[in-house]
Every structure is written in structure tokens, then in C-alpha cells.
A and B are shown apart, each in its own frame.
Chain A
Amino acid sequence: MAKNSNKTEENRNKFINDIKQGKVWGSYDIAFNTVNLLKDVIVNGDWQTAQELMVLITAEGRKLTRSLPMQASVGNMVRRVLKIIREEYVATQQNKQEDVDAQESLHKIVTSEGDVVDDYSKLLPDLRSSIMEHIGEFEMELETSADNIAQQARQHIHSNEIIMTLGKSASVEAFLKKAATERKFEVIVAECAPFCRGHELAVSLGKSKIETTVIADSAIFAIMSRVNKVIIGTHTVMANGGLRAVCGSHIVALAAKHYSVPVIVLAPMYKLSPQYLCSYDQDAFNSFVSPEGVLKYSDGAILSKVHVYNPVFDYVPPELVTLFISNTGGHAPSYVYRLLSELYHPDDHDL
């Protein structure tokens, strides 16, 4: 067993290192690898009951989120797996007690809530296999999520529309390319300095024969009046429906608000986080990278005279978002709380 836990630890360190070294990149890959890591714990871990397993998973999750505080999808996946364990525990237990009616009614939910205080400590022999089965389904859902979002493209993008986006998001790229197979439209890409990943997106769209224009970030407001829709990706969707998205998103969203242009956010379910942004830790919520893109290190004497910040994220409040498109369909920001309660168990919100 000790060997197994070593193996897990080794895998975890490798995963953390891979992310830090930039070998694993993009929230989908991170989410996918996290689930694999947790599967490893479930298969090789030393546990008998669901409760023990949950303790193991929570501990693993805590270590991961501590090392990778900026990667919200890691924590989301841990919570999701915990939820799966809870569901499977209840389901297998109910199967065992044959007399229990499998069908849930509103009456039953209301009445049975109080008397069953389950501590997940019963020994269930089939639990491991059923959890693994459920996680397998969940992995399938993960794999198809990008495709599912792209499938909805033609419901949202119409002919001859002008779409604005910024930076580079894999979901947005797939979404636009999918739409381009059926419709003809124009895309304006804000370059998103100083990283200028918008350039990459523009090149990629151009290769797919989409009419693309790259603009400087300062031109966002000027161009916005001509735009029909803003479609952006996000890093995380906060519990209130706000976004932690690439720096510049707030400007785009505000400009869109001014011209009443709808803002559509592509967010697969694994980006949904039960965390809120509290006003007092605004700075802790962001991540500030090396100021190199803003000011050159070789600029010399000025470096010691100025403070230079290079934030990676923007917080976009929920009232600026019109619609979320997830792999399960479109949702208004006000509906996010409901999705959260479906995806995660309230006890797992704090890892």
C-alpha cells in the first residue's frame, strides 16, 4: 500500500510540475488529467467505505489546489468526483435495500431529508466498480464537451454577422470554425496585449477561410458599434455567474453593454466553480505575471522608479454576461446557482 501511495504522490508531483512547466496546458487538459489522477486514488487507494474514500480524495484535492491555486478546474474536478462518490453510494445502497422505491417523488425528497443522516460509512462491495463506471461516463462527458458546445454554433451565429472575440480560447476557435462550415460571417479579434494571443487565433481562423480582422485593444470601443455579438471564452465561471476571464474581457463586456451587444460566454461545465469573488481579495484572485510585456527589462534606469503590473485575469460581473453556452445548452447567469447545486454537493464547496 505504501508503494501505491508513493506512486500517487509521484503522479501528483509530475502533474503539478507539468502544469508549472507548461507541458499540460489549457483547462480541458488540466481537468482531464485531474480526473485521471483521482481515478488512480480510487483504484489504488487504501479505503473500505465511501467515507474513507472521500477523505482520501479531499486530501488529494487540497494538496492539488494548494499547489495550483489559479487552476480552478482542478478543484472543480475534485468536487465533481466527490459528488459522484456520494451519488453512487446512495444509489448502491438503495439497490441493496430492494424495498425502497427507486423513483423519487417530491413528497419523498421533502419527507425523507430529515431522518436519513447518512455518514457514508456502510461497507458496500460494489461501490468501487460503480464509481469507476460513473467516472467513465463523466470522462466521456468531458471529452465531448468541446464538441457539444461547437454543435450549438449555428443556433447563435447567423449569416453576415460580425462577431467580436478577444485573445485565444480553444472553445471559441472550435465554435467559430464549426459555424463557418455553414454560414458566412466576419470575425474581429482584439489582440489582447501584451500576450497577443489574438494573433494566433486570427491566423488559425484565417486558415479556415473566415474573414478575420485583428484590432488593437484600444479600438475595442470604437469597433463595438458595428458588432452583432461578442463571443468569448473564460477561465472560470464564478458561483454568481461572474467570470474570471483573460485580461481585457471586462473592457469588451462594458463596451458591449454600452452598445447593447449580447455577450455570449462559452463555458464547458468543468469551468463552473462554487467560489465567489469577495471584494477584499481582488488582488489575490488575480495572477500577476512578470511585467516584461509591459516594460522591457533592458529599459534600465526606469525600472526602479515605477511599479509595473501585468495582470492575467479580469473579473467580469454577471450583469454584463447575456448567455452562457455550456455542453448542456444555454443558461442565463442567474441560473448558474442551479447548475452548481446539480454538479457539486454543498459540503464539498470548501475543500
Chain B
Amino acid sequence: MKMEEMSLSGLDNSKLEAIAQEIYTDLVEDSCLGFCFEVHRAVKCGYFFLDDTDPESVKDFEIVDQPGLDIFGQVFNQWKSKECVCPNCSRSIAASRFAPHLEKCLGMGRNSSRIANRRIANSNNMNKSESDQEDNDDINDNDWSYGSEKKAKKRKSDKLWYLPFQNPNSPRRSKSLKHKNGFSVCTSASNTLPLLFSSSGELSNSDPFKYNSSSGISYEALGPEELRSLLTTQCGVISEHTKKMCTRSLRCPQHTDEQRRAVRVYFLGPSAVLPEVESSLDNDSFDMTDSQALISRLQWDGSSDLSPSDSGSSKTSENQGWGLGTNSSESRKTKKKKSHLSLVGTASSLGTNKKKKPKPPAPPTPSIYDDIN
């Protein structure tokens, strides 16, 4: 039939309403029917009742809404205080510390191998340094006993020490440390800082230096020998709040020369000399007289109070810079190379020289090495 034959406009509203109603009803029926088909299919396929749970399960897994518990009813932080028994060492360990403990206990995991490697490297160093009997004697003859111990500081403190700069366990570091019989000579500029401290760490293993986790040295633990060596190469000013010596170079901007002098006077007596940096310093080996000449040149009092122990210890390293007994020549080059020098001072006092200098170290370094070896 043609639509033109009939006209809806002729229909009145009630009829239109009725028609609309019918259409609507048809639609609802269709929806119903569709729904019935879905249900029937679900029943026959077996998934109609899948979303039902029995009342017991519903009660078991009900959402918990109590304070202090999560929605599963578990207590927060419940595992913090629990203790587990390590299957390897049969110790009772706190749960939150269990994983790291296991890593170390079993010797697996990244850090364990690094620690092991470092221990090996350090034991090599220790064997080398302890061969110098004089050093050990000097350490034993402390007049001022700062409680220095011969035991190497634990690696943990070294690690903490290093953290600000670089991961001390990185293989790059250990390679450069290992390959020179424990002397760390690293020419790459980027490594300078970490190697500085790492070698200090190495030293601390073989030396009774006490490095704490901050970037300073606790002076109580140092013997006078180490102190002197430190003070010749490092700033050494004791910080107010941490009570530690500054390990930056002799020209570190944080502290004034007055402070440095005061520290040296405090530690080494009134005749303490502030090792001044001079560009014209000769880096070859010094003996006492030379140092005195230098000292006068630097407008400081001559270090006339050089104790015998100083000269004794200074024999161990070829470059006897100052009467303070520790310096190797490289320490003179502090001027702009801040971080490398503290290494040198500490190194020389112990007879193990670990040097890092940006300048070509050729002339002095081999000599030192020869001396040690």
C-alpha cells in the first residue's frame, strides 16, 4: 500500500497516542522476549547460576569494615614483627629483614658477589700493608691514644661512606682497584671522587682509620700518625654538628685557613704547620730540611718539633713532604685538584700509596711504587 494514500495528519491525537502506545508495547515485548531467550540459553548452557554463591561463602568473604583491618580482615603491619627462621644459618630473623639476610646468607644476589669481590681485593691490600712492620709499630706507639684499632673498619661503613658518590660495588670500581695491587690509580676523571673515597675505604680496611657514614672523619679513632697524615692533605676542620674532620682539600672553601690552623694546633701542638699549597713546590722527595725551608717560605713556623716517629714513618713513603710525616709529593698539587689529595696523605702514612691525580703521575708515582714494592 502506498503511504500517500493515508495521511497521519488526519488522525487525531488520541489515535496517535494509541498508536504510539502500541509501538511502545511492542518494543517492550521484544525486550522481554530477548531476555527470555538469554535466560533460557544461560540455563541450558549451564552458566545461569554462576554468579550465585552459597550463604556460607558469602559470610566468609564478606567485606570487613573495622578500623585497623583491611577489607579482607587482615591486620596491617602484621608481618613486621614476625620472625622467620633462616634455613641456612638457623637464626631467627625479622620478617622485613629476611630477604636481604637470605641474600647474604646464601651468597646469592648482586650485592653478595660484590662484597665478596671487595673482600678479596681488601685482603690483598691488607696483606701488602701489613708487611710494613714499622707502620704497625707506629700505630702501636700512640702517645695520644685515640682508641685506634688495628682492625679494619667494617665494610658497611665504607658502603655508607660511598653512597653519596657512586655505588662502591660497581664492577668498574673494583676493576681499577684490583689491577694495581691494590693501588687505585684511575685516570678517568669521572671516577675521581668515588675512587678517592673508595681507596680511602680500601685504606681503612688496611688502616685503622675510622670512617663514618658521613663525609667526614671521626678524629677520636685516629692515631697521631694518621692524624698528621690526614692534616697534611685534608682540610681537617672539625664540623660543629658532626664533630668530624672535613675531608675536603686543603683549600676547601667551606673552612678558612684559620680554622685549619686551629685544628692543627689542637691536634699536633703549637708547632703545627698548615700545609699550604704551592704551585712551585717540588714534588720530588723531601726530607726534613727541605720541609723546613718550605715551611719558612710559606710563612709558617718551622716544624721543628718533628718527632722521631715522624721521620720513622716518613721513611715508609719515599716522598717525605712535611715533618708531619705523611705527605707524599702529590699532596702538594692540591691547588685545584681537591678531592684527590686526601688519598695521598693517608696512603703514604701507611705505606700503601693509592694515588689519583689528574696530572700525569709518572715521575713520582713509580718511585713510590718501587719503594713500596
Q: Do A and B come from one complex?
A: no
